[in-house]
Structure 1
């Protein structure tokens, strides 16, 4: 797998992912670190180094290999192992471009102790899924192998370290396997082709100032990948896979001394390299000018402008550096909130905007401002974002903004601190990877929380305001504009773009921090009591029925210290409304939530909730309506007040809705004007599987004209007018006796009509019979295939388990055949979906991407595998893998709040037994060779739809 740094991933994308909150501090939980409880209150103490977490055992073997070991029992009987190589694509020679990534693949195709695919087979048989669990990635500067394993099997656990050792120095690099893997890598490369890749190839050398990074994309070049000799790959392995560039990381539920002994035994026997090749540290050279790149592509759907202010990377070494990082987090939070507010206008200046300081690449950090232009208006979009930067420069932030940001930051760290004994191992290993690859310090959450409480209060507004002068400067600056080819003539010139950037901030006024100081509920609800109670002891669940008819399902847990998840739903949804009101009903909950609630508009509500761990969102779906939420135990009453408010006092905000619909129209029009191949294909899939029903059509700009805000609020109020037929669910850290009065007040106080609603069956079914559709769209030589089987289902736990088994055993075989034998795909998936309502049905979907010339051959191979399952059933080995993977997955899920919330929702929604999960073994025992044969004949039936995306015909 190829991996890019976060900032560059964002730059590569043609659309914008908005993340407006500050990056979470990279501090996770640990045991108390009393030895490092210093008091950083003086200038002298701030020069002290950041103390490393003493719960981590760090060592170095005589051959130079570094290891990190930490005991952590979340999840129980599991460990996260990593082999980290501080070598990636940037170290490749010209004739090795792509071989760092190729080497990553070859580690799964044969080592000394695990020939060919035995490594994957062994782990699958132990319950470790290939891809989902077992994986690896290659970046510019590092290659990381990920191996999560069970620790309750001594053999599997010890063998896992043998796998790491084999990766480190025992790869066989069989020439036959190399040739087979070429096709897989070329398919991965093919998947990455498109508008984003073509534009990146143009702007990357300029953005990265022709540095080594600009010439060494991890995926490599087609020329090298198709022609290199195995000896060239072996040379890369010998040069860079060596102990002084390696780290072994082990975090999990194990004995630390035992693990250290295993590491010393296995990795100590790797010989040190004599006269090792120097590991060059490449820089991205600075430049005095502003580099502007304008790139267009016929498949780029919108215009994205990015202004990147590059600067030397900030390395956190001492406590003052740690204090500075807090300041940057506060800055990002406040600026992000301001830019988000711009979308709450009647005519927003952009579809999306973003400004943030973060790490970049190589020796650089960057302050990056991004705007997605509305109707292609580059000037308005980028000026709006840059003006917010300039507003900070001219007027600074306000004391109230800083106070909220500090509270929000502290709340995030408090949550991590409160969960310090429940932090998952995977969160720790990433810190140690960063420490090894980039010298990022890792400290204990106890120390960091203590430090934050002592230092954050002393951070003055002037200090945070001053950061803008560090971030924004005229040198080492780059502007990237990505736009549709059809808009090329309308785009501003390089000189104009530099003018927009240089002249931002004219005629600004100071930011007005509008807040509201009112209770969320002006009138307290009149509650109703619990009138009946039922215990389901074997799964620790209690059911309450309130006097107003609402049912409440509770599962108290200790899986997380600071988490309560909740939801509520009832039948109905948009199905109850005629087609002419469908669009209005479809958007009703979205538009209601955009108005805020009660006296609070959306922006004011966000400020009111700042520093609280509360999240509540209403929804109206096709068959049901409801609410989803979460809260820290201390904020649970606020969350229930918000839930009550969303039910009883939705708020209309015509300006915000107008702005939202305006942006939606613009985005949809962009998609119509410049449709991407994948978008056209997915629209075809949606319409075909929806039998061309009007409610399954792709959203179009004129659909939004059918939305009536007043009617939307009326529909919303209708959907939430009767809490008496709702079922609410609470999972997490609460005590029933403490929750009960809150439930009786806020849920018991909700209105009830005494009626029970049902959804309406709209009759939308996947078409019966056989159907084939091919879409010709796109210039790249790549194809996408979806094969869909569907039909009626006899609803029962046994049937759904058989479907899951069928999906898993077929996927195993598809990977073996289409990827490993045919080298025709990078990835292939087989999945089963099933639902009881509106009627019991299943959908079985097989999907993969490939070369256009291979479509027919690979579909034929897929059909051969399906026919083989019909004739013989699955092999006992593959069935055993499915059972092992399912059991291992369930062991972890049973200790997860999110799993239990979703599980209970599904069981009650479908009217199934709440304790069904305890009988999983009985259902798994029914999966046999004969049952998979019967399932294949039953579910791979006559209803078959073949959907293919091909490039446009020349």
Structure 2
């Protein structure tokens, strides 16, 4: 189902624009819910949704949703709805202390990546994916949900430990955005309860609240009448229903339940303006917010009216995008869309990222003009026809993939129903409804929406910019004048379309000269007469998806003195469109098709990526052929693109954020200040030449013989061979033997420590890097992956759970095969400045334990389980096989390597992790870079 938006009943001179009898019929019919979902309610009031779904197989997605969030907190509880979410992972009836995370990791569920939760203003949702192919795991998963629902221990000692973790999460959110938000939030939320109850809460309360205060929140709001259990996956529905009834039916509803107040954001008809600046904010943003009462999608008429809103958003989005594709764009980015806002409101929001502070009025004027243009003149019939084609194509694809839709997607639908009363018709019913009623949506109905959305009532304008540029910003009086006068002189929209064939001439088809079957992989390898190689892997993972990727070695490394132009090459060529179509015309030409393809030129490679379906495969191959043979140069559009890019970089340079300074400093250290890795600056754009970009592009795509195309998805090899011979076999070929010129830039040897002082907030960041030469092979790769994961597990335990010093910690590994083997192991975390030395010391202690003793066998088991579970799921996706085949071909690795995984996992032992830690945590090559706040 699409989002539910406001229902529309429009009259012009008393005449219904929708047939009255049609409207009345649908308006009296409630939206039917998908009968394949088992929905029920226990006697205690708890709601449940259950659906059998086998994508992915042997997996289930479980959710516990609670209609309780930060808006229900008392003054003394601010932040405790979110703190309660944390505490449910720190000891429950059946999983004391950290046993919950420990148990789930053993089953292959990753903390953070899989097992997670979130707290909003009005709800708290717990997420648990669980395997179903091992006896008792599904039952255990539901036991976890039951524990969350009413079994939290809330041990005072655990609460004390978790304070530091939550305070660190709060610290991560500090900065320019937060300081500016605090200035304008009450204004746009009309001083409502929502403005006073941000989920993160107040640090002063998080530091000092008594355990009884959070227990009170848990007892008041975690109750069955405010809860839903959602289970979607590969299981027996009846058995799961019985499990839910058994586990949750025993929950007692409160004798005297506290009233669950529904808070609103009042509408007072006023136009409010906020102009906020900050010393660390590098951009120039303006938002127009037109607030509207929220409407629920209760009847089929509401569903039908929602089509108009979807089509309006699509057409408005196209127009705003076109503005950025002109020779002199009025802003770097712009958009307008109607949708959910907060609480009881929807909003029509227009937003622009201005080039600089001096052009804020230009950006605001452009937003007002586009809104006025559609208000005065409406959209055109061709625009609507294209939007309908795109809309129907998306819904048809949704329908075709109905039996291949992931369980996590279904879960989201049922969450929306429980939390926000949004219905779920199911793909088949919704598709049939769209087929029947989409044509009934007329242009006059959609054009009337602009007058409803865009009014002079209940508006908010927010301007955000850097402190140093505040004198260049429009004043509140100027903004109000623009609101009153903007768009008065607009003219009607001119639809820029063309209907030429995509290709000037038909390709001269090639032939398959050799064919090899890789039976184990299910891959057919073709060699075409022009030298192009094609790897074909037909799958049944999706019914309507085909993914394409082509890669060749070379890239802009072959033009070492033209790095800046090389970086922009593919972007500038794509900005011009292809063949007879400029970029705007091309998007319109492809309306209603799933035909996406685009070229890229990176430092070491060039290639093309695309996605399509069986119906539009030929169009996509035509597009690929055109990008090889008919790249298009548009000097006017490129001038605008480069001007925008320069403005963006100038803004970033004028107001250097702590994150930017730290990132640039870390990059400089890791690359020995090599200019080939220096971040782009405004003057870099001046070195970019469109003519040279086109020349580089044509050079890299002049010879297809060194390209390997990988095609994965819903096709039959014999059926698509003629298309491959025609379009890929017809590509130009000079049979050159190409490779890249690797810059050989890796972290320097030796010990390096650097401290960067930047930032107003008491925030620090730490990055520790070990690196060195490396023998690249599957055996070493699995060992370094295991080392990364077992250290990650240990640092979460030590830095987060024991030290309470971080919210999160990341351990990453990377390995390079070219030009010779190199590896890099990095540890990164954010923390309070006062804790940097302590946490770095603890990190090094954990690393030394690995070097002395090897990994804990339990942690090895967790890595093995996680890897196996992750691979099982990945092997059933087209995206995995596309990247796997492409990467292994590029690297020259064995394509059968995936079948070695069991053997490789068995090689991970306590001894092997000890040897790997000693080898790869090299004390002689160690880099530490720390961000500290500015010295006062």
Same fold (TM over 0.5): yes
Alignment of 1:70-85 (within 5 A): 70-85=51-66
Q: CA 1:876 to 1:738, structure 2 compared with 1: closer, same or farther past 3 Å?
A: same
Cα contact 2:556–2:696 (8 A) shared by 1? no
Moved more, 137-146 or 535-544: 535-544
Corresponding residue for 1:319?
Answer: 300
1:426 maps to 408
In the alignment, the residues of structure 1 paired with residue 929 and residue 106 of structure 2 have an alpha-carbon distance, to the nearest angstrom, of 33
Q: 5 Å matches for 1:274-293?
A: 274-293=255-274
Are 2:726 and 1:745 equivalent residues in the alignment?
yes
Q: Does 1:767 align with 2:748?
A: yes
Residue 906, structure 1, aligned to residue 883, structure 2: no
- 1:157 lines up with 2:138 in the alignment: yes
Cα root mean square deviation, aligned:
1.1
Match of 2:699 among 705, 711, 718: 718
Displacement after TM superposition at 1:438 (Å):
1.1
Alignment of 1:896-935 (within 5 A): 896-935=877-916
Distance in 2 of aligned mates of 1:819 and 1:45: 55
Q: Aligned residue for 1:950?
A: 932
Structure 1: tracts of 5 or more residues without a match: 1-22, 28-39
Q: Could you tell me how far 1:584 is from its partner in structure 2?
A: 1.2
Map 1:635-654 → 2, pairs under 5 A: 635-654=616-635
Cα distance in 2 for residues equivalent to 1:655 and 1:314: 44
Q: Which is worse superposed, 245-254 or 371-380? A: 371-380
Distance in 2 (CA, whole Å) between partners of 1:711 and 1:906 is 29
Q: Which residue of 2 aligns with 1:567?
A: 549
CA distance in 2, matches of 1:506, 1:672: 37
Partner Cα separation in structure 1 for residue 24 and residue 293 of structure 2:
24
Distance 1:288 1:703 in 2: 48
Q: Report how far residue 46 of structure 1 moved.
A: 4.0
After TM superposition, the structure 1 stretch with the greater mean CA deviation from structure 2, 446-455 or 261-270, is 446-455
2:373 paired with 1:387: no
- Aligned equivalent of 1:655: 636
Cα displacement (A) at 1:386: 1.5
**Aligned residues of 2:51 and 2:233 also touching (Cα < 8 A):** yes
Partner of 2:659: 678
User: C-alpha distance in 1, partners of 2:3/2:77?
Assistant: 37
Instruction: Say if 2:247 is the partner of 1:244.
Output: no
Residue by residue, what CA displacement relative to the aligned partner does 1:550-587 show, whole Å, maximum 9, x if unpaired?
A: 110111000001100011111111111132x1211221
TM-score, length-scaled by structure 1:
0.95
What's the offset of the Cα at 1:24? 5.9
Q: Are the equivalent residues in 2 in contact too, given 1:802–1:927 (CA < 8 A)? A: yes
CA distance, structure 2, for counterparts of residue 369 and residue 227 of structure 1: 41
**Equivalent in 83, 90, 96 of residue 77 of structure 2:** 96
The secondary structure found in structure 1 opposite 2:291 is strand
Name which of 565, 576, 579 aligns with 2:558: 576
CA contact (8 A) 1:569 1:728 kept: yes
1:872 match: 853
The whole-number CA distance in structure 1 between the counterparts of 2:39 and 2:727 is 51
CA-CA distance at 1:915 after TM superposition: 1.4
Give the superposition deviation at 1:47. Answer: 2.6
Distance in 1 separating the partners of 2:758 and 2:869:
42
Mapped partners of 1:548, 1:947: distance in 2 = 50
Distance 2:326 2:698 in 1: 24
Residue deviations 1:496-536, cap 9 Å, x none? 11111221212111101111111100100102101111111
Conservation of the 8 A alpha-carbon contact between 2:579 and 2:632: yes
Pair 1:178-2:166 in alignment: no
786-795 or 890-899: which moved more? 786-795
Equivalent of 1:631 in 585, 588, 612: 612
- 3-state SS of paired residue (2:827): strand
Deviates more, 1:907-916 or 1:120-129: 907-916
Alpha-carbon displacement from aligned partner over 1:314-363 (angstroms, at most 9, x marks no partner): 11100110011110000000011001101112211111111000000000
Displacement of 1:839: 2.4
The superposition leaves residues 443-481 of structure 1 with CA deviations (integer Å, 9 ceiling, x where unpaired) of 111111111111110111000000011101111111111
Q: Distance in 2 between matches of 1:382 and 1:323?
A: 33
Aligned to 2:14: none
CA separation of 1:304 and 1:678: change in aligned 2, threshold 3 A? same
Offset of residue 26 of structure 1? 8.1
Match of 1:210 in 2: 191
Q: Aligned partners of 1:879, 1:196: CA distance in 2, in Å?
A: 40
C-alpha contact (below 8 Å) 2:4/2:295 kept by paired residues = no
Distance 1:864 1:24 in 2: 51
Q: Aligned match of 1:692 in 669, 673, 680? A: 673
Q: For residues 307 and 26 of structure 1, do their structure 2 counterparts lie closer, same or farther at Cα, with a shift above 3 Å needed?
A: closer
Q: Secondary structure at the match of 1:400?
A: helix
- Counterpart residue number, 2:768: 787
Unmatched 5+ residue regions in structure 2? 6-20
Per-residue CA deviation, residues 359-417 of structure 1 (Å, 9 max, x unaligned), is 00000000001111112111100110121110000100000000000000000000000
Deviation readout 1:224-279 (Å, 9 max, x if unpaired): 10010000000000000000000000000000000000000000011111110000
Report how far residue 41 of structure 1 moved. 5.4
- 2:471 alignment partner, one of 466, 477, 489: 489
Which residue of the partner structure matches residue 386 of structure 2? 404
Moved more, 372-381 or 320-329: 372-381
The answer (yes or no) to whether the contact 1:541–1:555 under 8 Å persists in 2 is yes
1:851 aligns with 2:832: yes
Q: Distance in 2 between matches of 1:478 and 1:576?
A: 52
Distance in 2, matches of 1:651 and 1:843, equals: 40
Q: Distance in 2 between matches of 1:435 and 1:42?
A: 24
- Give the Å deviation of 1:838: 2.8
1:331 matched to 2:315? The reply is: no
Deviation at 1:25, TM superposition (A): 5.8
1:813 matched to 2:791: no
- Separation of aligned partners in 2, 1:490 and 1:521: 49
